[in-house]
Amino acid sequence: MLNEYLKQKLDGESLLLMTHCVVGYPSLDANWRMLACMQKAGVSLVELQLPFSEPIADGPVFVKANQAALKQGLRWHEYFDFMAKAAREFDIPLLFMGYYNSVFCMGQDNFCERLKTAGAHGYIIADLPPEEATELDNHAQSQGLDSIHLMTPTSTDARLKDIARNASGFIYCVARKGVTGSKTELDAGISRYIERCRAVTQLPVALGFGIKTPEDISILKGHVDIAIIGTACLEAWEHGGEGKYMQFLQSLHQATLA
């Protein structure tokens, strides 16, 4: 599980980076090169997204990527095979990211077994409320997997406590309402929200949705433990290929050290 890994990493670094990859887009070969860049640049965690036809938490960039991966024929077994290969090759802990429909169709026990066999450390299910996740979380615990729960700015303090109760690994704080991709203003409101999240959990706190630049990373230092960058990384790849992608990742990691 992630507890010891994150504790050790945070003993030496004040802010960790988590990045994102839609498996199958633009291709599995490109995904492999992305992961190689991530490891070289010092990324600490990676979400591997299983493409889904209706990714309701994702903005236009990721929706397009999901649709393209499905159109190209990516199937579940290819996703898990890719994850297993990546887990053997790279040192970065890998997390499943996806939607509950996929988990339901596989069966919760089968899903957790496949994740464990593929070398995953846990999962992020974007559309599964914590009160409906108990059975899946129990299956995950039996397999030594972490269930990453999401908190949102609109949640009451009581709701945040409920979300934290069965979470493990770390807490994913969604920076704002809406979908991924749009720029988030990192202002005093975000700081108060993060303080509310920290008050209900001892787990490391991550912030995602709209984190796009090294300047954003610098602002987050001292407030959260993990910065999550997804859309901006994929945009760097689309606009400049592997070279631009690597430069962007390096700039993000440098900002965590400055």
* Nearest alpha-carbon partner for 208 in 75, 28, 20, 49: 20
C-alpha 136/C-alpha 104 separation (Å) is: 10
Catalytic residue among 11, 29, 54, 58: 58
Residues 6+ apart with CB under 8 A from 244: 236, 237
Query: Which two structure tokens, joined as six digits, stand for 155?
Result: 């949640």
Which helix (DSSP H) or strand (DSSP E) does residue 148 occupy? Answer: strand 146-151
Whether 47 is catalytic is yes
Catalytic residue among 13, 47, 225, 242: 47
Whether 58 is catalytic is yes
Which helix (DSSP H) or strand (DSSP E) does residue 94 occupy? Answer: strand 94-98
**Mapping DSSP to helix (H, G, I), strand (E, B) and coil, where does residue 125 land?**
strand
**Strand pairing report for 94-98 and 16-22:** unpaired
- Using an 8 Å Cβ cutoff, are 10 and 246 in contact? no
C-alpha 132/C-alpha 126 separation (Å) is: 12
End-to-end CA distance of the chain: 29
* Nearest alpha-carbon partner for 182 in 58, 50, 56: 58
Residues designated catalytic? 47, 58
